[in-house]
Structure 1
């Protein structure tokens, strides 16, 4: 099982690297969302302040410009195509190594011949990692052993750890993503409703005076519309709806596979792994526009 130990260690590195890259991307997306929203609000406030309040107006205008500039900077440096591509490629390599390791540990084809299994896994592992040689400088050190098995699995162990484990994970992640998108859509709905209300009020009411300064309601209506657009853009960039759909679909397919009669153990394992491969390929295509090149089981 030395080769399985090696694959498990390397997969742990790829997985931890993918986690860190994804964490950076998530923080950058939320930062861009917050900075863009703040910049829009400050720009609107600055436009409403009279010329005789030079200092407050300049302060608001500068703060708004800085916020928008930082949002643009983070978008270019942390959310560029190269960053997204690197994260997706690292995660894809991690998942491919994981699939082969579970096939090997479960004794499924093509690893059902003990005399050839080690050599086959070594060859497949080298082939998978060769696709990411340019990413090796980004790999991080990790003290954790990861989730991969390091010895043979009995049938019930494979079902519990790999299949049921992923069903639970997909279900949980679908729920958490659904909760986020529901909250964000409620915020967007409230912003749109408030913008509509202010538009109606602006047609019949005088300009409100806040701290001695008359403010144009129409200007803030535009800001609310901009903020609503930023919320929708964040939802689309994070692919929340897509992830909810694919996670739930993958969980259902795994459940169906588990409940059906098994023609053979190898067929069952490979069907489960192919379901996971299909899910993996779908989100790679969604985030990059091109599918992962997967090897045949």
Structure 2
């Protein structure tokens, strides 16, 4: 008996995916006034907050995994295509100025390379072996963490990368905006950010992009906090590379010590523009060399390093 063409399974048909479905709340999108458009977008964007809350446990596990890997000399890779990949590149690019990390510590890999940041090259996401090759090129190993980002959960480029990373023993994390039964994957940590259909059907640069950015903010910042690059809520490892960041560094020193701005500037200069070291020097009453030794002894964690230094001052 012959099978009609309409009943033949088409693996490229992704209409069942949550990210591809039509949103009934925006059925009249093209008839809305500008103010009504703003209100509807605002209402839908509330779903991103709920999605993050629903994924709190896997997000926390991911922070732990990333912290452990980076603390043992590993690297964090984000890999994706289109909007998902660009968001990974953006988050990676923000780590050096915010936390004074070397550029190779957190890296964003985008299908199509740097050119795809400004010019759409979504066709490059369809090659599984290209994702594998990206892992091989960077010599991903068992100390690393690879975060695959794909709103619809089906991108072959990302799947290839995660497959190769797992073969090398790397920790793998998957981020998608569809339920696991719609796009299953083998990964150590599976994060599903379910924001529902987009107002503009299939345009995952909207809610899916927003919630992905939120998740990446949490992962990178959370890991850096755990690694000691934050004291209280201050970025004490900030890279002092321009006037704005020097001003921020001086304000941090003034706020966390009894110094005025001129004295803070002198301390910052003596520390080699390193806020954490400057705080260790001043609060621990140490010269730069001894302060650095104390920080190194405590894996760069300022709070326990200060506690040890102050205990020696007041035994």
Which structure would you say has the larger RCO, counting Cα contacts within 8 Å and 6 or more residues apart?
Answer: 1
Higher helix share: 1
TM-score scaled by length of structure 2 = 0.27
Larger radius of gyration: 1
Higher strand share: 2
